[in-house]
Amino acid sequence: MAETLLIVFVIMILLGMPISFSLGVGALAAAIMYPVLNPIIIPTRFVGLLSDSFLLLAAPLFILAGNIAARGGVARVLIDLATALVGRFRGGLAYVNVADSMFFGGISGSAVADVSALGTFLIPQMVRKGYDKDFATALTVCTAVVAPIIPPSIIAVVYAWMAEESVAAMFAAGVIPGLLIGLGMAVPVFVIARKRNYPKEPPPSLPEFMRAVWRALPALAIPVIIMGGILVGLFTPTEAAAVAVVYALVVPPIFYREPSWRELPKIFADSARLSGVIGMIIGFVGAFGWVLTYSKFPFRVAEAVAAIAPHWAVFVLLVIVLYLFLGTFLTPSEIILVTVPVMLPVAQTMGVHPVHFGMVCMIASAIGHITPPVGLCLFVGMAISGLPMEKLVRPVLPFLAAIIATLVAVAMLPDITLFVPRLLGFVQ
């Protein structure tokens, strides 16, 4: 049963069928071939998952809030703030790129939104200041990996739903790993900037610094409202996402005169399109996972993995390798939705905390945003800069190495992930 499901699923992907439809076709093929399963289960599971989860509504709302913020002048004021903070160092705009992704990631929760919003400003500006275009593009693409890790995070919501974990715990768990990834990418920036003698930005005067901070405060209030409301119990994650949408609709037009009302229909349409894709995948994953569970496939996988990797650290490293491979042709949401139902039970039997395992999965899957041949952020960066993929592969490698090194540290040292959730009382 599981073999039929997986074989049909892989064949459909190789034939070029979208991942969501491949999941559904695989589940339907198994249901048709084995009389013990009823094909009517497929639409039942599809509709049931999407209609019964209030938590999942947070994902499209976070997508909408991020898209509004990305086109609402938020990116520009955050760039100004980052420039005032770190622009004075050698290769200042490169550090601005890293810092700005950390700021903006706390608003959008989306790597693609990060590259789209920040790359449009930063890549041309860096090139004008004397930075190599391939370096500027590769850095912008890679720093976007921080966005799905630093809270709020769309894939954290998806994982929390799959693992039946607290969204607040997953958000809190992303704080230190997200900061470490940003600091990790600052290392190759330091080396390359010194080697190529990239320019410094003039240090701001105190009035200029205070003006940059003041203008950025309305934008920085978005993650404060989201996280603060969740942590003190004012909002559920879904309610916090709804509040973020309202805030993004009201505040940026007042303070930054953007976006205009004419842009809103396109913003809503783009957000609905991406939300629809995620919703379709989730629906078909429900049927796919039901067939897998019915066939006892996860338990067989658990036994096989336990034989190969008797220690939890070896298992987690194998998961990282698997996710890096899957990231070359699947998006992070797809990887998590397809693999977590199988891998999480194995992790728990080996004593790995679900929150720690989730953070490893989130970082490892987010790397897929920048790895060819289907890295979404890579393609957005190519579209902005006009560079072909072969010109970006080598410049990406130092930053990719920094991210993977941080990932391994997070994987091997669970306290990096669990410190903040424990401090806030979300996990024991």
Q: What is the pLDDT of residues 151-205, one digit of tens each?
A: 888 888 889 988 888 888 999 999 999 999 999 999 999 999 999 999 988 888 8
List of residues 6+ apart from 269 with CB closer than 8 A: none
Confidence of residue 39 (pLDDT cuts 50, 70, 90): low
Residue 9 domain flag: no
Q: How far is CA 190 from CA 84, 89, 115, in A?
A: 18, 9, 21
Instruction: Sort residue 371 into left (φ over 0), alpha (ψ -120 to 50) or beta.
Output: beta
Residue 23 domain flag: no
Query: So what's the pLDDT on residue 6?
Result: 73
Residue 299 domain flag: yes
How many structural domains are present in the chain? 1
- The average pLDDT across 388-415 equals 92
Rounded CA-CA distance 373/396 in Å is 13
Rounded CA-CA distance 286/206 in Å is 55
For the chain, how many residues are written?
428
Residue 19 domain flag: no
Residue 57 domain flag: yes
Summarised one tens digit per residue, pLDDT across range 142-159 is 998 898 898 888 888 889
Residue 195 domain flag: yes
Q: Could you tell me what percentage of the chain is helix, strand and coil, using 3-state DSSP and rounding each to the nearest 5?
A: 80, 0, 20
Q: Is the pLDDT of residue 73 over 80?
A: no
Range of the domain at 144: 40-423
Q: How far is CA 68 from CA 122, 352, 382, 390, in A?
A: 19, 37, 23, 33
Residue 342 domain flag: yes
Rounded CA-CA distance 382/138 in Å is 9
Residue 399 domain flag: yes
pTM higher than 0.75 for the full model?
Answer: yes
